[in-house]
Amino acid sequence: MKILTILGARPQFIKAAPVSRELRKNHTELIVHTGQHYDPNMSDIFFEELNIPKPDYHLGVGSANHGKQTGEMLAQIETIILDEKPDYVLVYGDTNSTLAGSLAAAKLHVPVIHIEAGLRSFNKKMPEEVNRILTDHISEFLFCPTDTAINNLHNENITRNVINVGDVMYDAVVYNKKLAMEKSKAIEENNLTEKDYYLITIHRAENTDDDTRMNNILESFKQINGIKVWPIHPRTKNMLLNKGVDLSVIPGLKVIEPVGYLDMLALENGAKKIITDSGGVQKEAYFMKVPCVTVRDQTEWVETLEGNANILVGTDVNKIIEAVNMEVNPIYKELFGDGFSARKIVQIVTN
């Protein structure tokens, strides 16, 4: 079979690594990189570290408003589908690259495989929610990471080819964790001591684009005692630069450039707690058994909330600080598959 895979953003490269490895054992895969993420530390580094095959097409779309960015991808992907005539188009998650790929394919009657289907925040103000709902409704195979995702799709009357295969991000962690612990020097290089620092990531539009929420988040960082390391997403960095915010006044805060996947796994594993609004990082915290505080009003990963393994706090300063200081002792369960989700996906599509 010939599969056309659409990638564009950092978490999609990570998800693609285990799937491409399995897919290429028996099938032909062509990769389209939309160019949604393009800084070397947001893109190339993942292809190199995770041995993801070089993209066959690079669309170079770059940053723009949603309509322009998605529209440019849509037009270019349509041309590629017409030329390549793939049997399936494969998309991941919920970014603008996901929607462009699934829409282009569905209009040309090429069946769509959606990996990480069925997630919902029930907040349509999030661009991701719009992208994932639309993609799920035009997909042929919906590979879900959890039972919650299956139920979400059933509630929208999507029942055909809806399968819980576990989470391909868990596959990636299982495959790379040992390597990360051996190779990464991120803890030493940043003068950190294991279990004596907090790891921060913030990039969601709902936080970066809302002054009140962002100010609250920064105020909480000021009031959290101890060392905090923050590999800053370019979206957040640009927003704060434009507003003239000086992060160097926050005591104990080390702002660093985005790191590669192996360094990120090492930083997550060594942290005493993780403070984030990322979807992927919430899950990785759970996989690493590191308590997490999520600065959002909803999470798609509701399973991680059990036993306060992940505490959903929104952006109220006191709630953030209280959750960060709270002693928790969760029981971590095998909620995201067995590390062989990619293999299951490929077997199902093959059969």
- Residues carrying an active site annotation: 203
On whether the CB atoms of residues 14 and 40 are closer than 8 A, the answer is no
Binds ligand UD1 by CB under 6 A, chosen from 76, 96, 216, 276: 96
Question: What is the Cα–Cα distance from 120 to 111, expressed in whole angstroms?
Answer: 22
Binds ligand UDP by CB under 6 A, chosen from 101, 118, 166, 279: 279
Q: Does 37 bind ligand UD1 (CB under 6 A)?
A: yes
Q: Tell me the three state secondary structure of residue 106.
A: helix
Q: Which helix (H) or strand (E) holds 30?
A: strand 28-33
Size of the site for ligand UDP (CB under 6 A): 16
Size of the site for ligand UD1 (CB under 6 A): 18
Q: Does 234 bind ligand UD1 (CB under 6 A)?
A: yes
Chain mean position to CA 129: 14
Q: Does 63 bind ligand UD1 (CB under 6 A)?
A: yes
Question: What is the Cα–Cα distance from 84 to 156, expressed in whole angstroms?
Answer: 33
How far CA 305 is from CA of 46, 175, 298, 302, 338, in Å, comes to: 29, 25, 11, 6, 20
As beta bridge partners, residue 310 has 292
259 binds, among ligand UDP, ligand UD1, none (CB under 5 to 8 A by kind): ligand UDP
Q: Does 120 bind ligand UDP (CB under 6 A)?
A: no
Q: Tell me how far, at minimum, the Cβ of 14 lies from ligand UDP, in Å.
A: 4
Question: What is the Cα–Cα distance from 78 to 304, expressed in whole angstroms?
Answer: 38
Q: Tell me how far, at minimum, the Cβ of 276 lies from ligand UD1, in Å.
A: 11
**Binding segment for ligand UDP among 6-14, 51-59, 217-225, 297-305 (CB under 6 A)?**
6-14
How far CA 199 is from CA of 11, 320, 322, in Å, comes to: 18, 14, 16
Binding residues for ligand UDP restricted to 189-248, rule: CB under 6 A: 201, 203, 231
264 binds, among ligand UDP, ligand UD1, none (CB under 5 to 8 A by kind): ligand UDP
Question: What is the Cα–Cα distance from 351 to 310, expressed in whole angstroms?
Answer: 37
Residues lying near ligand UD1 in the complex (CB under 6 A) are found at: 9-11, 36-39, 42, 63, 94-96, 127-128, 203, 234-235, 238
Residues lying near ligand UDP in the complex (CB under 6 A) are found at: 10-11, 14, 201, 203, 231, 258-261, 264, 278-281, 284
